[in-house]
Amino acid sequence: MTETTLTYPDNREPSAFTQAELGWLPWLEPFPSDQLTERHWAGLVDPSRARSPYFLLLARDPDVLQARTKADKDIFYNTSNGLPRAERELAATAASRSNGCIYCASVHSRFATQYSKRGNDIQRLLDEGVDARVDPRWDAIVDASVALTATPLDFGDAQIEDLRKNGLGDLEIVDVINGAAFFNWANRLMLSLGEAAPSGKTSS
Amino acid sequence: MSTISFDIIDHLADIQPGSHLDELRSQRPQARENAQKSYSALFDPDDAGNVSALERYAVATFVTGLHRQSVAADFYAAALQKLDRPDIADIVDAEITRGLAKGPYGRYPEGPLSTEDEEGPDYRVFPGHEEILGARLAAALQHAHLLVFHPRDANPEALQKLLGAGWSTTDIVTLSQLVAFLSFQIRVVAGLRALAATSNHTSASSGEAPVFTALLASGAL
Residues A107 and A173 in one domain: no
Residues A174 and A119 in one domain: no
Is residue A26 situated within a structural domain? no
CB contact under 8 A, A3 and B169: yes
Give how many domains chain A has, as a whole number.
2
For B129, the domain range is: 13-24+51-218
Residues A48 and A134 in one domain: yes
Is residue B181 situated within a structural domain? yes
Is residue B135 situated within a structural domain? yes
What is the domain-level CATH number for residue B169? 1.20.1290.10
The confidence band for B5, taking pLDDT boundaries of 50, 70 and 90, is confident
* Rounded average pLDDT over A52-56: 97
pLDDT of residue B3: 42
Give how many domains chain B has, as a whole number.
1
Is residue A54 situated within a structural domain? yes
Contact B91, B79 (CB under 8 A): no
Query: A164: which residues sit within 8 A by CB, 6+ positions away?
Result: A173, B198
Quote the ipTM score: 0.97
Cα→Cα distances B197→A174, B123, B153, Å: 13, 35, 36
Is residue B152 situated within a structural domain? yes
* Rounded average pLDDT over A101-116: 98
Residues A74 and A133 in one domain: yes
* Rounded average pLDDT over A45-56: 95
Is residue A123 situated within a structural domain? yes
d(CA A112, CA A17) in angstroms, rounded, equals 14
Residues A56 and A129 in one domain: yes
d(CA B16, CA B1) in angstroms, rounded, equals 12
CB contact under 8 A, A153 and B187: yes
pLDDT of residue B200: 66
Is residue B42 situated within a structural domain? no
pLDDT tens per residue across span B131-183:
999 999 999 999 999 999 999 999 999 999 999 999 999 999 999 999 999 99
Is residue B112 situated within a structural domain? yes
Residues A131 and A184 in one domain: no
Is residue A11 situated within a structural domain? no
For residue A99, which residues of chain B lie inside 8 Å, CB to CB? 104, 151-152
For A181, the domain range is: 157-193
User: Which one of B30, B113, B159 has the shortest CB-CB distance to A70?
Assistant: B30
* Rounded average pLDDT over A85-91: 98
pLDDT of residue A203: 52
d(CA A200, CA A120) in angstroms, rounded, equals 24
**Quick one: which of B120, B170, B110 has its CA closest to B145?**
B120
Its pTM stands at: 0.94
CB contact under 8 A, B169 and A152: no
CB contact under 8 A, A150 and B181: no
Residue A15 contacts B where some CB pair is shorter than 8 Å: yes
pLDDT tens per residue across span B81-133:
999 999 999 999 999 999 999 999 999 999 999 999 999 999 999 999 999 99
pLDDT of residue B142: 98
pLDDT tens per residue across span A2-25:
699 999 999 999 999 999 999 999
Cα→Cα distances A87→A93, A94, A114, A122, A172, Å: 9, 10, 11, 11, 10
Is residue A202 situated within a structural domain? no
What is the domain-level CATH number for residue A119? 1.20.1290.10
Residues A144 and A169 in one domain: no
